[in-house]
């Protein structure tokens, strides 16, 4: 048998890669992880999940104070102002602490961090910086990068991607977001709350593609109430720099008269694509699919034995927790255990206010597959949401009409991201709506709305 430097080499230290590396090391495998960035944690910790949530949290507090919402609770602030530098500082602190935490975990678990961009030399040999190492197993976890809009150059000043939008040095007068998806609505919310006018230009006829239809419509209404302007079914044909800002030319997606929109800053957020740049995959024997992704089997193995892939670089939702779970599973499979991820039960959360979350099938998908029963409960009728002055949103439970098995749960609520965990767990255990309805939920909590929506599947909610 050939001798290798490592049992496992993971390429990429995002939530997929760093978790795979730690789990592999925990299982007794000699493990290294190559990372091209200066810090560990990938997109998520450096320029994604964590900094965006830091800005969402701080901007929400700012808005609660500035809008008078706190004054209505008796919390009067006579003088308040925005200190954007401090807000950015706490974002950077959160990132530094968490990326440093991964470095600590690597040391603790004896994962060797290989600094530099990795490029294959053959299926078991990889060059990283000035080193060349061999590994019996290689896990590709190189993540994703921003999908560019043809003809629109990102300069991170006037035309920015999500990374630039996290770091704007001042609140733009008018922010135009191209793409009404998760990034557009989360980062649009940050700058809207801090005082920007925000216009979202979306190609489709509704925001948040992939989510439940009713949830998308309700979300649209709520964001409009918050001051967002939407130009749906609209495409951007040109973005030109002018003065210190930009002028966008837009027209109906189906074709028609063009109009222009002036912007101080333009955020391009039209999706992300798998990242295999510089990996020299051809030398490994691996080919990409038509969407530039690495195809895998049920065990996360690729078509080349000994090469595995996980996270944003493979097909499926581009979510940190999905990447993490795949990281654990791939390490267990490499170690000869059975690592499984149930891709039918991956929750998704949009961290706006209120939060928007879902797991499983949308009502439209469920109805396509067969007969369903649907129960809904408005947050307005939930005692905790009402007490907290959070009337917007609802919970929807979708169950199979015959077996009552829960097929999907959708929530719009201030803490929907936390609430959705119980729905995911129930679905993982094969729960029926009756199981949820007969589970005791603490009072007063927002989660009681899930119980009531489950009761509504049988037509019997109490508080409605
Ligand atoms: P990544 O995190 O992209 O990590 C890949 C790493 O590989 C990178 O650090 C890269 O430098 C490195 N790399 C690439 N090529 C090489 C190479 N050849 N050699 C060495 N290293 C290499 N998801 C959520 O679930 N919740 C959220 O709230 C959320 N918020 C987001 C907010 C924003 C603004 C963005 C952009 C994304 C957000 N996401 C969120 C998505 C989440 O960040 C990704 O799904 C997740 O990071 C994917 O993990 P990964 O390990 O597959 O890849
Ligand atoms: P997205 O796929 O969520 O949304 C992109 C939007 O842009 C879609 O609505 C699409 O119809 C629209 N679009 C595409 N081309 C367009 C065009 N030419 N003109 C106008 N609109 C156009 O992608 P987004 O927001 O860029 O996010 C990328 C990924 O990052 C997502 O897949 C998401 O999973 C992940 N992410 C997750 C977060 C979370 O879990 N909270 C937060 C932020 C990102």
Give the distance (Å) from ligand 1 centre to CA of residue 24. Answer: 20
- What ligand is nearest to the CA atom of residue 167? 1
pLDDT at 415: 98
Q: Is the CB of 311 under 6 A from ligand 1?
A: yes
Neighbours of 425 (CB within 10 A): 13
DSSP strand pairing (31-35 vs 6-11)? parallel
CA of 320, closest atom in ligand 2 = 40
* CA 161 – ligand 1 centroid, Å: 14
Residues of 264-291 as b/e, b for ≥16 C-beta within 10 angstroms?
Answer: bbbbbbbebbbbbeebebeebebeeeee
The count of other CB atoms within 10 Å of the CB of residue 65 is 17
pTM comes to: 0.98
Q: How far is the CA of 183 from the centre of ligand 2 (A)?
A: 6
Q: How many helices (H) and strands (E) does the chain have?
A: 13, 22
Q: Is 49's C-beta closer than 6 angstroms to any atom of ligand 1?
A: yes
Tell me, what's the pLDDT at 464? 87
443 is catalytic: yes
Strand ranges in 89-154 using DSSP code E only, listed in sequence order: 112-115, 118-122, 125-128, 131-140, 144-146
Q: What is the pLDDT of residue 445?
A: 98
**Positions in the chain whose pLDDT score sits under 70:** 1-2
Q: What is the pLDDT of residues 238-263, one digit of tens each?
A: 999 999 999 999 999 999 999 999 99
What's the token pair of residue 25? Answer: 């090391």
């Amino acid at each position: 048998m050939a001798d290798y430097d490592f049992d496992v080499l993971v390429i990429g230290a995002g939530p997929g890669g760093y978790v795979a590396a730690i789990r592999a090391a925990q299982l007794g495998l000699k493990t290294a992880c190559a990372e091209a960035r200066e810090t560990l944690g990938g997109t998520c910790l450096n320029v994604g999940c964590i900094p965006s949530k830091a800005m969402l949290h701080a901007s929400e507090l700012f808005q609660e104070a500035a809008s008078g919402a706190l004054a209505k609770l008796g919390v009067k602030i006579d003088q308040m102002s925005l200190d954007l530098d401090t807000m950015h500082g706490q974002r950077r602190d959160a990132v530094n602490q968490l990326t440093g935490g991964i470095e600590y975990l690597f040391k603790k678990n004896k994962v060797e961090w290989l600094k530099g961009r990795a490029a294959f030399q053959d299926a078991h040999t990889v060059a990283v910086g000035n080193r060349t190492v061999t590994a019996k197993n290689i896990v590709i976890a190189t993540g994703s990068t921003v999908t560019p809009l043809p003809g629109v150059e990102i300069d991170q000043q006037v035309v920015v991607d999500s990374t630039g939008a996290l770091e704007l040095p001042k609140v733009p007068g008018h922010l135009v977001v191209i793409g009404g998806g998760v990034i557009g609505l989360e980062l649009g919310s940050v700058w809207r709350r801090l005082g920007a006018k925000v216009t979202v230009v979306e190609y489709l006829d509704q925001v948040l593609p992939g989510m439940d239809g009713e949830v998308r419509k309700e979300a649209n209404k709520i964001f409009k109430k918050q001051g967002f302007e939407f130009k749906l079914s609209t495409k951007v044909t040109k973005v030109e720099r002018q003065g210190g800002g930009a002028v966008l030319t837009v027209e109906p997606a189906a074709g028609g008269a063009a109009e222009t929109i002036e912007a101080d800053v333009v955020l391009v957020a039209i999706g992300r694509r798998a990242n295999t740049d510089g990996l020299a995959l051809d030398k490994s024997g691996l080919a990409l699919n038509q969407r530039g992704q690495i195809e895998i089997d049920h065990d996360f193995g690729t078509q080349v034995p000994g090469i595995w892939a996980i996270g944003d670089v493979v097909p499926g939702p581009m979510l940190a927790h999905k990447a993490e779970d795949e990281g654990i599973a791939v390490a267990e499979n490499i170690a000869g255990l059975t690592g499984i991820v149930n891709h039918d039960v991956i929750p998704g959360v949009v961290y706006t206010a209120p939060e928007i979350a879902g797991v499983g099938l949308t009502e439209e998908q469920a109805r396509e597959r067969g007969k369903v029963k649907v129960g809904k409960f408005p947050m307005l009728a939930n005692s905790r949401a009402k007490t907290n002055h959070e009337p917007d949103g609802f919970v929807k439970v979708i169950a199979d009409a015959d077996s009552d098995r829960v097929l999907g749960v959708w929530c719009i609520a201030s803490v929907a991201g936390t609430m959705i965990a119980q729905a995911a767990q129930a679905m993982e255990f094969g729960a029926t709506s009756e199981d949820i309805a007969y589970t005791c939920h603490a009072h007063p909590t927002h989660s009681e709305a899930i119980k009531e929506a489950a009761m509504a599947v049988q037509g019997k909610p109490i508080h409605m």
